[in-house]
Amino acid sequence: MHGCWDGNTKTINIINDTKAVELSTAFVYINQFVLICVICGKPVAIQKITIQQFLELAKQHPVFDVRSPGEYIHAHIPHAHNLPLFSNEERKIVGTAYKQQSRETAIKIGLDFFGVKMKAMVEEVEKIMGNGQCVISNKETTTNENQLPVANCLLLHCWRGGMRSAGVAWLLDLYGFKVYTLIGGYKAYRNWALQQFAKEYTFSIIGGYTGSGKTLLLKELEKQQKNIIDLEGIANHKGSAFGSMGNQPTQEMFENILATELSGIGHSTSGIFIEDESQRIGNLKIPDAVWKSLRNSPVFFLDIPFEERLEYITEEYGRLSKEVLVNAIIRIQKRLGGLETKNAINHLLENNTKESFRILLTYYDKWYTKGLNNRENLSAFLNKIPCKSVDTKTNVQNLLACCTVNS
């Protein structure tokens, strides 16, 4: 591939083996350095790689998603940076032109949008990579073809590995970055993510009634270098009417994060600790294949006295405003029942938070017991661990001792 300049028509022709594509005068916006590189015929060093290679390199190098902000917000590869070629509105305009007019017309419109952004996009990449120095010098001093340049290596993708990623990759390569693009784009990543759920994993489920401090146990296990998956953390929800921790991700993004975490742990012989949940966590759903695996995994049930758990949740949730608490109670009023809903709210309004939570804890215990007993062959999976209180360190020791005995 090489470039040539036609001074009469003021266009640049980029010529490859199959077709010459005339680029519009939008390139007047290209900074002088990029223009010189094109005219001089700088060779393209962009490499297309598979999803497996892409994810392996992503452990060390930044990933840039050049899709529109709307696509990125809906769902993206975890930890990827959004570097949109088009805004949401620009994407609509280009897409409409492609469908209703022609591919060539869409490309020219896209070039008008792209040209004015080139310098800013390069500077944004430099800022994210923390590499404001001249990246070209680093690239030129790399002598081993199999050795990746560390300071300026980046990964790039769009939706299907098409023109958007190719255009931005071209720009960043010309500037001096070492660019890898994903074959199949984000669509390839989604296929990979869904495949992770069909694999077999060894789960150890931390069970227990509401107020048992199960999430605290997960965090302590993580500190002790154990493999964990924090479903509530990924879902940004504590799994109850009081569980909202802010905006939840989309279902697709929830799945992307879960798939990435499962893949990172792999098939460890020590297994994965995970909290016992219903299949729905707030507005999100645990993928069916993972849910089926969880329902056939051993449950280590923290058997903590009711009053101890009541003290814990009163301290944990009692700090929330009355408005938040009342609204949470109203959300479960159909299952809680009219009388208990009224009593729980009245206790709150009378500043008797503990008695309000007593009603709610009784309700949640009933529903947890029902869900636990819905497991097939429960007796083969259930391991009860007597615990005196919500004491994280002591309960972790008891849990690990029980896991060792039952391994």
Tens digits of residue pLDDT in 80-129: 999 999 999 999 999 999 999 998 999 999 999 999 999 999 999 999 98
Higher per-residue confidence, 242 vs 46: 46
Q: What is the pLDDT of residue 343?
A: 95
CB neighbour burial string for 46-76, b if at least 16 within 10 angstroms, e if fewer: bebeebeebbebbeebbbbbbbbeebbeebb
Q: What is the pLDDT of residue 375?
A: 87
Say how many C-beta atoms besides its own lie within 10 A of residue 224's C-beta. Answer: 9
In the structure, what pLDDT confidence band is assigned to residue 208 with cuts at 50, 70 and 90?
very high
Same structural domain for residues 20 and 167?
A: yes
**Is 147 found in the same domain as 19?**
yes
Which of the listed residues 174, 192, 210 is the one where a domain comes to its end? 192
158 tagged catalytic: yes
Same domain flag for 73 and 171 = yes
Q: Which two tokens stand for residue 371?
A: 């869900």
Q: What is the pLDDT of residue 406?
A: 74
pLDDT at position 58 over 90: yes
Per the confidence metrics, is the pTM higher than 0.95?
Answer: no
Taking only the tens place, the pLDDT of each residue in 147-175 is 444 568 999 999 998 889 999 999 999 99
Output the domain CATH number for residue 28: 3.40.250.10
Q: Write down the pLDDT at residue 157.
A: 97
Residues 147 and 210 in one domain: no
Of the residues 192, 214, 246, which one is the last residue of a structural domain?
Answer: 192
* Structural domains of the chain, count: 2
Domain limits for position 394: 197-406
- Provide the pLDDT for residue 23: 36
Q: pLDDT at position 131, please?
A: 47
Averaged pLDDT for residues 16-37: 39
Q: Using an 8 Å Cβ cutoff, are 169 and 46 in contact? A: yes
Nearest residue to 170 (alpha-carbon basis) of 28, 16, 50, 59? 16
Of 192, 227, 247, the one marking the end of a domain is 192
* H helix intervals, 45-162: 51-57, 69-74, 88-100, 103-115, 118-129, 135-140
The whole-chain average pLDDT of the chain stands at 84
Does residue 16 have a pLDDT over 80?
Answer: no
Which residues have C-beta within 8 Å of that of residue 72, sequence separation ≥ 6? 65, 80, 82, 84
Phi (first) and psi of residue 351, to 5 degrees: 65, 25
pLDDT higher than threshold 80 for residue 36: no
Statement: residue 379 has pLDDT above 60:
yes
Residues 221 and 82 in one domain: no
155 and 51 Cβ atoms separated by less than 8 Å: no
- CA dist 368 and 291 (Å) reads 16
Which H or E run contains 20?
strand 20-23
User: Exactly one of 153, 158, 387, 402 is catalytic; which is it?
Assistant: 158
